[in-house]
């Protein structure tokens, strides 16, 4: 069968790549065309029609500045779908773009599957009407999403969480290999994960770096996003000699003592690697003020949302400042707060389940296609 897959961000590239591997096991004659990144390229042996680096735009300002590129990407994708005539269009997260494509694909008679459903429980709940209208099969990765979509008369299937798969499948460097490869010393590591978007880098990294000198007994290491180059970090590092490590985030987390993490998928990854963390987020003040009235969730980070209680500290907007960050980092580096967080991480892992999400999703997709042929 022929699969057309769209992943518009680095995390989507990872999870779509794992899904492709699983689809190949379920369907020996599987063919793929896709929008995505290097990981999908590796498993398909063919380059993306559009790389996610040309698609990862965040916030109103970023979107407006790149509106022509977004329009061009949409048109190119529509033409590719019509030319390829896939058996199914699989959409991976990235709702702003993917819901537009879902409407087009559905109208043209293609089957549509959404893997990693949009987080409509957080904001833009009205988009659920588009899910109900355009999506034939909805696969969710957070346990509480079933109830949300059922409330809106949308049948959803929980397939587990692909982050669990990715962490479990990680076979990385030993600590000695990691330290030697990146010329690190033996001090405990504090990982800095400032995000994968340019606006996040600008908003998060300076405050993260503000606490470095307060912890000389630790070494700080920045996880470089695949959408950036070393040069993108240099303006922030004029006063520091910190390593920026690319394409080894999981190795970094595996060998870290604690972490400061921009809210997003990385917070869940950090939790599953059992690394005590402070989750942070900051945006333009006007965006934050608007967002406060639109976002309808009790917590901001995925570990807290999944557990439906606070297990990691969240520092948002004005609370994300050097003094508060320093105090929180001290608490998770040692003591009762650190121990409790590690216990909570075990409960989180049990709640998510350990069955590979990509395998379960692939089986569901292949069965769906066969049943609807």
**Residue 94 to residue 96: CA distance in whole angstroms:** 6
* 42, 44, 50, 51: CA torsion to nearest 10: -20
308 backbone φψ class: left, alpha, beta (φ>0; ψ -120 to 50) = left
Q: What is the mean pLDDT of residues 5-14?
A: 91
Mean pLDDT of 114-123: 88
Which residues are bridge partners to 36 per DSSP?
Answer: 51
Residue 258 has pLDDT above 70, yes or no: yes
> How much is the average pLDDT of 283-287?
74
**DSSP H stretches of helix in the chain:** 10-26, 38-44, 59-65, 67-84, 95-107, 128-134, 145-151, 162-169, 175-181, 198-209, 230-234, 249-254, 265-272, 285-294, 302-307, 322-333, 336-352, 357-372
Q: Residue 63: which pLDDT band, with cuts at 50, 70 and 90?
A: low
| Tokens read off for 357 | 């999400």
Q: In 3D, which of 361, 370, 371, 373 has the Cα closest to residue 113?
A: 361
328: which 2 tokens?
A: 């929180």
Classify residue 153 as left (phi > 0), alpha (psi -120 to 50) or beta. left
CB 189 within 8 A of CB 256: yes
The answer on pLDDT for 90 being more than 90 is yes
- Say if residue 285's pLDDT is above 80: no
67 or 134, greater pLDDT:
134
Question: What are the pLDDT digits (tens) for 134-176?
Answer: 999 999 999 889 999 999 999 999 999 988 988 988 999 999 9
Confidence of residue 62 (pLDDT cuts 50, 70, 90): low
Locate 332 and state its tokens: 């998770």
> What size, in residues, is the chain?
373
Report how far residue 294's alpha carbon sits from residue 289's, in angstroms, rounded to the nearest whole number: 9
What pLDDT shows up at residue 135?
Answer: 97
Pairing of strands 137-140, 156-158: parallel
Q: Which residue has the tokens 């929008």?
A: 35
Instruction: For residue 60, count other CB atoms closer than 10 A to its CB.
Output: 12
In DSSP notation, 254-289 reads HT-SEEEEESSHHHHHHHHTT--EEEEE---HHHHH
- Angle subtended by helix axes 322-333 and 336-352, to nearest 10: 80
Report the pLDDT averaged over residues 241-245.
Answer: 94
Instruction: Write down all domains in the chain, each with its CATH number in brackets.
Output: 2-160+355-372 (3.40.50.2000), 168-352 (3.40.50.2000)
For residues 73 and 55, give the distance between their C-alpha atoms in angstroms, rounded to a whole number.
8
Please report how many Cα atoms fall inside a 13 Å half-sphere around the Cα of residue 29, on the Cβ side: 3
pLDDT tens-place string over residues 300-348: 899 999 999 999 999 998 999 999 999 999 999 999 999 999 999 999 9
Residue 266 tokens read as: 């990385």
DSSP 83-105: HH--SEEEEES-HHHHHHHHHHH
User: Both tokens of residue 84?
Assistant: 């390829």
For the stretch 22-61, pLDDT in tens is: 999 999 999 999 999 999 999 999 999 999 988 866 666 5
Looking at per-residue pLDDT, the higher value among 64 and 190 belongs to 190
Identify the pLDDT of residue 290. Answer: 65
Q: Are 1 and 372 in contact (CB under 8 A)?
A: no
């Amino acid at each position: 069968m022929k699969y057309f897959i769209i992943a518009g961000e680095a995390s989507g590239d990872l999870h779509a790549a794992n899904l492709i591997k699983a689809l190949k096991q379920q369907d020996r004659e599987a063919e793929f065309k896709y929008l995505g990144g290097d990981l999908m390229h590796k498993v398909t042996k063919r380059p993306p029609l559009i790389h996610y680096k040309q698609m990862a735009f965040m916030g109103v300002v970023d979107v407006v500045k790149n509106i022509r590129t977004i329009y061009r990407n949409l048109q190119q994708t529509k033409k590719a779908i019509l030319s390829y005539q896939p058996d199914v269009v699989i959409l991976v997260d990235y709702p702003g773009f993917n819901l537009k494509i879902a409407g087009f694909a559905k109208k043209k008679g293609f089957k549509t599957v959404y893997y990693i459903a949009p987080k409509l429980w957080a904001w833009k709940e009205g988009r659920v009407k588009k899910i109900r209208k355009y999506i034939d099969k909805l696969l969710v990765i957070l346990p509480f999403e079933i109830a949300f979509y059922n409330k809106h008369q949308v049948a959803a299937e929980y397939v587990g969480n692909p982050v669990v798969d990715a962490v479990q499948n990680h076979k990385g460097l030993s600590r000695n290999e990691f330290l030697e490869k990146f010329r690190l010393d033996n001090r405990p590591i504090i990982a800095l994960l400032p995000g994968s978007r340019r606006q996040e880098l600008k908003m998060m990294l300076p405050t993260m770096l503000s606490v470095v000198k307060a912890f000389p007994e630790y070494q700080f290491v920045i996880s470089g996003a695949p959408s950036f180059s070393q040069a993108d970090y240099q303006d922030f590092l004029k006063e520091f000699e910190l390593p920026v490590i690319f394409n080894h985030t999981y190795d970094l987390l595996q060998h870290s003592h604690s972490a400061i993490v921009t809210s997003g998928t990385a917070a869940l990854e950090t939790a599953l690697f059992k690394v005590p963390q402070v989750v942070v987020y900051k945006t333009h003040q006007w965006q934050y003020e608007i967002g406060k009235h639109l976002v309808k969730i009790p917590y901001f980070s995925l570990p807290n949302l999944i557990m439906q209680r606070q297990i990691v500290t969240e520092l948002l907007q004005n609370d994300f400042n050097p003094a508060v960050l320093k105090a929180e980092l001290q608490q998770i580096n040692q003591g009762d707060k650190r121990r409790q967080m590690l216990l909570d991480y075990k409960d989180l892992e049990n709640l998510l389940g350990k069955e590979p999400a990509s395998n379960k999703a692939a089986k569901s997709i292949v069965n769906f296609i066969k049943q609807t042929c």
